[in-house]
Amino acid sequence: MAVKIKSVGGVGFDNAVKQLLEKLGKGGHVRSGFLEGATYPDGTPVAQVAYWDEYGTKTAPPRPFMRTAIANNKGDWGRLMEAALKATGYNVDQALALVGDKITDQVKEEIVSFTAPENAMLTNILKDRFPKGGYTKDEFLQAVRDLKHGATAPPGKPLVWSGDMLDATAYDIKDGPE
């Protein structure tokens, strides 16, 4: 973190600024989202599924929860960091942890509140049959056949199925600037 301050208050001010800079150290940054190592039970990276949800695939429309969380909240993050620094006595790691917690909560709130576009009927059938996920290829193909023969299921919540993605939403703190 580069901080330039022009001294206008004498030795006492210079010492205060020096102490503040020592507290701030070299700075740091926080990452919030789906971090390395977070996987579904079958080993699929949560970040990959979140990417597919965010930007869509050949067979599923985009569900931009992350971009929406950022757009709706980024304007407050600077003020949040300022308040966190003051509240922690300018401890950068503690302040970043407070900010990381808040941003992670904002992403989770967006996942939970997301409503459109709705799930495809096949997804609703699979969610109804396998509330925790984890179906086999044969079970998937059976659901496809059943759909072709008129099977239906109640509408499910987009982005929320097993809870694995929601539970994997996290943050970490890294030293230095991003």
> What is the value of pTM for the model shown?
0.78
Please give the pLDDT value at position 134. Answer: 83
Mean pLDDT over 81-89 rounds to: 91
- Give per-residue pLDDT as tens, 126-167: 999 998 888 889 999 999 999 999 999 999 889 988 889 999
Please give the pLDDT value at position 25. Answer: 65
Query: Is pLDDT of 4 > 70?
Result: no
Question: Which DSSP string do the residues of the chain spell out, in sequence order?
Answer: --------SHHHHHHHHHHHHHHHTT-EEEEEEE-TT-B-TTS-BHHHHHHHHHH--SSS----HHHHHHHHHHHHHHHHHHHHHHHTTS-HHHHHHHHHHHHHHHHHHHHHH---SPPPHHHHHHHHH-TT----HHHHHHHHHHHHTT---PPPPTT-SSSHHHHHEEEEEEES--
Please give the pLDDT value at position 5. Answer: 45
Please give the pLDDT value at position 132. Answer: 84
- Give per-residue pLDDT as tens, 16-68: 556 666 656 667 788 999 999 999 888 999 999 999 999 999 988 999 999 99
Mean pLDDT over 90-118 rounds to: 93
Higher-scoring residue by pLDDT: 174, 16: 174
Query: Is pLDDT of 89 > 60?
Result: yes
